[in-house]
């Protein structure tokens, strides 16, 4: 299945200064031709205003996915279902504002060229699998006593396992070196041409290597891609044990024991995306550090229902 979206909302600051395209003056000779440059003190397009928040209906999106659904009911009260999605979700802006942008900047980096933000959507999950099953336990079938049957029959177990790849996130700067005056800092660093090796290292203390990026030259935008890194994956197993007991013809009791994250597996959240918090050659000490989890620890709850 697939879809293509047009005229979606993008968040921009449309009152940035008019940029200089190198090698036009006053662009420094050290910058390559075609580089977008803002000199210090460049006036806003409308000097009577500062930052603006403008929503432009120029966004586009593309989704393509393969969905597989396998469902089978076996004999003796056993049923199993598995659902898998392999997909790619692309756009040039997922969120309208910073409060909901989560793992990427809400604002377009360079409003005059929003297609520079084209890349994985913030909701892009390439692989997602969910497997669930239920089994009615064959207990008490040969028990003759009424109390024995009532105690042993009616038990069932079920589980649901979720496995998915991580969400993308954007390497960012904690300040704005472009001189364009946008205080929301939607600026990305430059790729380090001298870096060789794995960018994603994994682990909570340094999930990605910040040395893969360098600070862009003053007055310019960074060339790292939006949502070009992928965060930790997610794996979870929930299980439950249920007992149904018929008390009278119109009254049934149900006991449930539910186990969430039964394996007590730690699922890490998105790492700190800010590579450089200030101008300089030293990355932020918290770049790539994970400080949150995406799921709770193991939790167990019990409950009893009367159904009539």
Predicted confidence band of residue 95 (pLDDT cuts 50, 70, 90)? confident
| pLDDT of 281 | 84
Query: Could you report the per-residue pLDDT of 9-34, keeping only the tens digit for each?
Result: 999 999 999 999 999 999 999 999 99
Average confidence (pLDDT) over 209-217: 96
Residue-wise pLDDT for 254-279, tens only, equals 999 999 999 999 999 999 999 999 88
Q: Where are the beta strands (DSSP E) in 187-298?
A: 190-191, 213-214, 229-230, 234-248, 251-260, 274-276
| The two structure tokens encoding residue 214 | 């360098």
Q: Specify if 164 maps to a domain.
A: yes
In a domain, 17, yes or no: no
Classify residue 3: in a domain, yes or no.
no
Residues 52-56, mean pLDDT to the nearest whole number: 90
Assess contact for 221 and 110: CB atoms under 8 A.
Answer: yes
Q: Is 34 among the domain residues?
A: no
Position 28 in a domain: no
> Within a domain: residue 55?
no
Is 216 contained in some domain? yes
Among the residues of 153-191, which ranges form H helices? none
pLDDT tens profile 111-160: 999 999 999 999 999 999 999 999 998 876 666 567 666 778 889 999 99
- The yes-or-no verdict on residue 303 having pLDDT over 90 is yes
Report percent pLDDT > 70 for the chain.
95
Residue 11 located in a structural domain: no
* Number of folded domains that form the chain: 1
Over the stretch 228-257, which tens digit does the pLDDT of each residue have?
A: 999 999 999 999 999 988 888 889 899 999
Q: What local confidence, expressed as pLDDT, does residue 236 receive?
A: 98
β-bridge partners, 5: 61
Domain with 252, as residue range(s), is 64-307
H runs (alpha helix) in 38-91: none
In 109-154, which ranges are E strands?
Answer: 119-120, 127-136
């Amino acid at each position: 299945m697939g879809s293509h979206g047009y005229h979606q909302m993008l968040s921009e600051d449309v009152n940035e200064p008019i940029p200089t395209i190198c090698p036009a003056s006053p662009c420094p000779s050290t910058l390559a031709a075609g580089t977008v440059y803002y000199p210090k003190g460049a006036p806003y397009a409308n000097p009577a205003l500062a930052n603006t928040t403008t929503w432009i209906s120029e966004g586009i999106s593309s989704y393509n996915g393969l969905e597989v659904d396998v469902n089978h009911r076996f004999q003796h009260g056993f049923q199993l279902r598995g659902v898998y999605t392999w997909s790619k979700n692309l756009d040039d802006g997922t969120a309208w504002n910073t409060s909901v942008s989560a793992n990427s900047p809400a604002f377009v980096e360079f409003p005059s060229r929003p297609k520079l933000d084209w890349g994985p959507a913030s909701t892009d999950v390439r692989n997602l699998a969910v497997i669930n099953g239920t089994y009615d336990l064959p207990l008490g079938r040969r028990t003759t006593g009424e109390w024995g049957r009532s105690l042993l029959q009616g038990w069932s177990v079920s589980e649901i396992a979720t496995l998915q790849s991580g969400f993308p996130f954007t390497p960012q700067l904690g300040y704005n070196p472009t001189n364009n005056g946008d205080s929301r800092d939607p600026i990305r660093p430059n790729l380090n041409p001298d870096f060789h090796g794995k960018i994603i290292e994994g682990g909570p203390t340094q999930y990605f290597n910040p040395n893969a990026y360098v600070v862009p030259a003053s007055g310019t935008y960074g060339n790292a891609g939006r949502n070009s890194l992928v965060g930790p994956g997610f794996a979870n197993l929930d299980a439950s044990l249920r007992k149904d007991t018929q008390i009278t013809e119109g009254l049934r009791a149900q006991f449930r024991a539910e186990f969430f994250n039964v394996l007590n597996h730690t699922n890490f959240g998105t790492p700190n995306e800010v590579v450089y918090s200030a101008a300089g050659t030293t990355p932020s000490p918290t770049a790539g550090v994970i400080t949150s989890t995406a799921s709770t620890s193991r939790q167990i709850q019990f409950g009893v229902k009367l159904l009539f």
